[in-house]
Amino acid sequence: MSIVKLASGHGMPLVGFGLWKVPRETAADTAIKAGYRLFDGAYDYQNEKEAGEGIQRAIKEGLVKRDDIFVTTKLWNNCTSPK
């Protein structure tokens, strides 16, 4: 899998798994089993919690280390005011 080296020194995969319209229960752990290490989600997809749980399952099962996982997300315009 192709990676790009970040300024931090970490290697981030260039290809990721999009979480839009994927089954909530198996969103992330199935993708990890297929070799994905980068996940692209958004609050609006309404599956961020389940994706995190899938990543946790894969880590507990020893399929992947947390250090190997990248998660990207989007922040909607109405979610940007400081609270």
Active site residues per annotation: 45
Q: Are 24 and 50 in contact (CB under 8 A)?
A: yes
> Please, is 54 exposed, middle or buried when counting C-beta atoms within 10 Å of its C-beta (0-12, 13-18, 19+)?
buried
CA-to-CA distance for 64 and 80, rounded, in angstroms? 33
